[in-house]
Structure 1
Amino acid sequence: MRELQRTIIDHLGVKPEIDPAAEVDRRVRFLVDYLRASGAKGYVLGLSGGVDSTLAGRLAQLAVEKVRAEGGDAVFVGMRLPYRVQHDEADAVTAVEFVDADEAVTVNVAPGVDALNGEIREATGSELTDFTKGNAKARHRMVAQYALAGDRGLLVIGADHAAENVTGFFTKFGDGAADVLPLSGLNKRQGRALLRHLGAPKQLWDKVPTADLLDENEGQTDEDELGLRYDDIDDYLEGRDVPEQIAETIESVWHRNRHKRTTPVEVSDAWWRPGEQTALVVIDMQNSYFEFPDLASVRDELVASINELIEAAHEAGRPVVLVRTEHARDRSTWTLNMCEDDQGFAFPGTEQAQFLDELATGDHIEVVKTRDSAFFDTDLKARLAHIGVDHLLVCGVSTHSCVAQTAIDGFAENLHVAIARGAISSDNSELSEALLDFCADQMRQPIVDQQASLELLRTGAWPESDSD
């Protein structure tokens, strides 16, 4: 896999494979939880009849129904926002029927867009280009949604997803402006799979995507405008090999459209959840470290324990950070002892550098380090701050080096750290115990067994330190 490809996949949180039923449940739960945390009265979304808005709309309706079933009060308003007569009017009508929103309203944006165009013509002597006018349509649609949301105390849902995000295929402050993004981390084919799972008519989940913003090229497909096929974009986001030219095109537009990627809350964000935020940090579960006999002998048991923690973290909606070590072949990242021994390891792209095959590496944040500490010369602290994490549960290998040093530096970064005793190992048990005692005594970092680690991830309740 290309280095930037891995970075983009990690940033967008795309999984190579998904369980549609589990993803539906996860995203509905996200919408339920965020609605409660915000104190808003419900959601609003523009329904175009396309795959993305139809899926987001159905998830929103399921979420407000769940809120009401659990004793709360919430409403979902689906808005039709045509410019005059919509090109694919029949699909839009079918989508509204399938979504089955509590309320459906129609606001035609043509008067507002045309009035703006007329005022600009009057002021400048020329009309908006067709492209700019198309963006004005998208922005007027969002203005309408926020106007209704503001009057009724609702939140605006955006239908942006990973395949649009990576290409910047959305209008800045138009469909790119929203409060929540329930489709974040999905590519186009995964969105279709969720919509199909939900029982949508084939004409909706199998529909050819079109933004339908241009007057002069009505119905132009997204793929024609992008110059890319969604299948290729999806393959790239799932970590598959794609032709070099396609990969370079995707990476070029990713960089070019950085300014468009704003900050509505995403499914993987946790800063808004009440209480202290805990992340699971998994250290160096790579092939290279299990070449040591002492670690190889406990490999299966250790992986099973860590996978159990990862599953508990995912079920509780807590971030998982997978940390791995890599060293450049040119010696530029080698430690002093590596240079003295003239022996590097874990080179990029090698089997040594890869995570163990048995490790659950699905939905996670990945950090690459070159020293024992996961904080040294990495962006780990910034990434934790972005998702509101200030408590860490650390596990992995090796206890006496990378695990302990990460815990020590976590203390220096003013983060609360606990160490999962049931999910760590080392080839130096005596030194490991000494360092665990040091972390517990000097930094008051709890050393917790497997059951306590699982309880911490499930409840967020921070354990007391064993120190006096």
Structure 2
Amino acid sequence: MEQKVEKIVSWLRIQVEQANVEGLLVGVSGGIDSAVVANLIKQACPEHSLGVIMPCKSQSSDQDHAQKVIDVCGIESITVDLTETHEVMFSTIKQQLKNQDSFNEEQAKLADANLRARLRMSTLYTVATNHKYLVVGTDNAAEWYTGYFTKFGDGGVDLVPLVHLTKGEVREMAEYLGVPHEVVHKQPSAGLWEGQTDENEMGTSYEMIDKYLKGEEIPEEDKKIIDAMHKKSAHKRQLPPSPPQ
């Protein structure tokens, strides 16, 4: 694990140098993936790294966990509360759709959640531009393969240092780095709505996805879910298509 950490930290430093920027930042959600990235960028750029906490109708425990991650790893931080911004923007859009009689109640929950992720992305890039930093993503191998991220939201980043690590490997790295126990062992959640968890939404578990990615046998039902998610989310891992010349 020490070698894995050193390899990622070295790679991050090279990215900073090649991009001719000053440092790195990450959105710290209170979850395990962003906690690991916060530690990694702090090691890569001790004097030029930043954690950004962005509550948006979030559970108070998430913000508490995010702050604890910041305190333990010693990274500089700022907090930008997006609750009011989101409320104004989403309610304005929703009202216009209702005026056109085209508002879809069934899709509203997803649209609401995706807007939160995209507001966070916009916030990170605004702060990053101010500091001349790169935005570092938190997606692990399981999330990347299944497309469990918002396109141009938490998927809108400059670097993805965890993309080759399974969720289990991220957890091992978190323990090695000294991430707070309650963050390491909390139920994975994007915090998009009350009671939301990653595994309930996906219909399978990170354990099953990790096994699948490592080529191990898993129940056929889980395999079908994972294959379907991968196929459906292919567009998220590609550049926007264009017509042939």
Instruction: Report the TM-score, using the length of structure 2 for normalisation.
Output: 0.90
1:353 alignment counterpart: none
Does residue 79 (structure 1) correspond to residue 52 (structure 2)? The answer is yes
Partner of 1:57: 38
Q: Deviations over 1:402-424 (max 9, x none)?
A: xxxxxxxxxxxxxxxxxxxxxxx
- The letter of the residue matching 1:145 is L
The answer to whether structure 1 residue 200 and structure 2 residue 179 are counterparts is yes
Structure showing greater relative contact order (alpha-carbon pairs closer than 8 Å, 6 or more residues apart): 2
Residue type at the aligned position of 1:230: Y
Q: Partner of 1:111 in structure 2?
A: 84
Alpha-carbon spacing, 1:124–1:90, altered in 2? closer, same or farther (3 Å): same
Cross-structure match for 1:233? 209
| Cα distance between partner residues in 2 of 1:85 and 1:168 | 23
**What does 1:437-448 align with in structure 2 at a 5 Å threshold?**
none
Match of 1:211 among 169, 185, 190: 190
Once the two structures are superposed, the pairs formed by residues 46-445 of structure 1 within 5 Å of their partners are: 46-65=27-46, 75-88=48-61, 89-101=63-75, 103-125=76-98, 126=103, 129-214=108-193, 218-262=194-238
| Structure 2: 5+ residue stretches without partners | 240-245
CA distance in 1, matches of 2:181, 2:96: 47
Shift of 1:87: 4.0
Q: Structure 1 residue runs of 4+, over 6 Å off?
A: none
| Separation (CA, whole Å) in 2 of partners of 1:85 and 1:137 | 10
Amino acid at match of 2:219: P
Contact 2:58 2:191 (C-alpha < 8 Å) held by counterparts: no
Question: Following TM superposition, by how much is the alpha carbon of 1:253 offset from its aligned partner in structure 2, in angstroms?
Answer: 1.1
Q: Any conservation in 1 of the 2:58–2:192 contact (CA below 8 Å)?
A: no
Give the equivalent residue in structure 2 for 1:302.
none
Consecutive unaligned residues in structure 1, runs of 5 or more: 1-19, 66-73, 264-468
State how far apart, in whole Å, the 2-side matches of 1:220 and 1:123 are.
Answer: 28
Relative to 1, partners in 2 of residues 1:27 and 1:120: Cα closer, same or farther, differing over 3 Å?
same
Aligned length: 232
How far off its partner does 1:85 sit?
4.8
Q: Which residue of 1 aligns with 2:23?
A: 42
Larger radius of gyration, structure 1 or 2?
Answer: 1
Partner of residue 301, structure 1: none
Identity of aligned residues (%): 33
Candidates 27, 47, 70, aligned match of 2:8: 27
Q: How much does 1:118 deviate? A: 2.3
Q: Tell me how far 1:245 sits from its aligned partner.
A: 2.0
